[in-house]
Amino acid sequence: MEQPVMALVLGLVAVGILIWVFWPKKGLLARLGKVRMSSQRVLLEDTLKYLFDCEYKGIACNLNSAAGNLNISADQMAKLMAHLKDMGLVVFEGHNIQLTDTGKSYALRIVRVHRIWERFLADETGVQHMDWHGEADIQEHQLSLEEANRIAARMGNPAFDPHGDPIPSTEGEIPPFSGRPLSSLKEGEVAQIVHIEDEPHYIFEQLSALGLYPGMQVYQLDVQQGKITFAADGNECVLTPLFASAITVQPLPKAEPIQEGYQRLSELQPDETANIVGISSYCRGLQRRRLMDFGIVPGNSITAELRSASGDPVGYRILGTTIAIRKDQANLIFINNIKKEQHEQSA
């Protein structure tokens, strides 16, 4: 009697497994198929976005450069391009690849969603600036254009993302590319940073560590074969030509005054007082509002008082109150006129 029952149970289990694997739309194979289709769509959209970026900046694009950008093999890219061509999104001009009008429209939608989401993270959340691009890389494939448009409307329809890139309009219009790489400036030239490339991540991380941001003025001090030296906010910076080429600048008249050099709050030692000059453009959203609520605004005095056992955070006294500020936040606060506090001695 036990054997027929066991056979029945095993049969039911087998049927259940078959249903789980082959059930239309919700079975394992259907789900795996959706994952493959989703991954394929992400690759296709990333390719369109890369092609648009090349065309926008006047850079020729071929199979090898596209494959390198997406970190896939040339054979995989050839198949992707063939698929895009069949969809009427790209055409081949010799060895170069160009977007069709339909392909450009598709790419602009992806770019718009990406840059709106970056701006949303920068202005409306406490997400760190190093994470903006990665988060937007995910949302550009998941967020609909209608949802992105509603978010943009709530923010007042911003024209630029936090890296200085223009956000395409709802009609798919975008201003022409302007500026030149920092690496192309000659010694003595003055310029203003208009864009900092957020890819590759290791380059963006290094540029962020230097405190560089769109709107900052730079002065080219020295240009050598493997080293470019420039002043930014009065501080001397040194980059390789590769890293300097990731910074787009707009040349300014030589008569344009260079901003004075400022120090960072993280440099303030215990019992030292300074005047607050401002907060970096990279400090945005909830984090910026929190600091301003504490009194971190231009003109106020601030004193370093207490240092935790680990050295981070540090207690700062401002407007009669002691607040704790982490080093990564203190790096985004500019100060000047540092003075040593004079303590009264008892008689």
pLDDT digits (tens, 9 = 90+) for 56-104: 988 888 888 888 888 889 899 999 999 999 999 999 988 889 999 999 9
Nearest CA-CA partner of 59 in 236, 256, 245, 200: 245
Across 297-311, average pLDDT: 84
- The percent of residues above 70 in pLDDT, for the chain, comes to 83
The model's confidence at residue 163, banded by pLDDT at 50, 70 and 90, is: confident
Residue 17 has pLDDT above 70, yes or no: no
The model's confidence at residue 35, banded by pLDDT at 50, 70 and 90, is: very low
pLDDT digits (tens, 9 = 90+) for 251-303: 987 644 445 567 888 888 888 999 888 887 667 677 777 788 788 888 889 99
* Encoded tokens for 31: 């789900």
Residue 15 has pLDDT above 90, yes or no: no
State the chain's mean pLDDT as an integer.
82
- Residue 81 backbone phi and psi in degrees, to 5: -65, -35
pTM above 0.85, yes or no: no
User: In the chain, count of helices (H) and strands (E)?
Assistant: 11, 14
In angstroms, rounded to a whole number, what is the distance separating the alpha carbons of residues 265 and 229? 24
Residue 24 has pLDDT above 60, yes or no: no
In angstroms, rounded to a whole number, what is the distance separating the alpha carbons of residues 26 and 21? 9
Q: Spell out the residues 6+ positions from residue 230 whose beta carbon is closer than 8 angstroms to its own.
A: 182, 185, 218, 219, 220, 221, 236, 237, 239, 244
CATH numbers and ranges of domains, the chain: 28-99 (1.10.10.10), 180-251 (2.30.30.90), 263-345 (2.30.30.90)
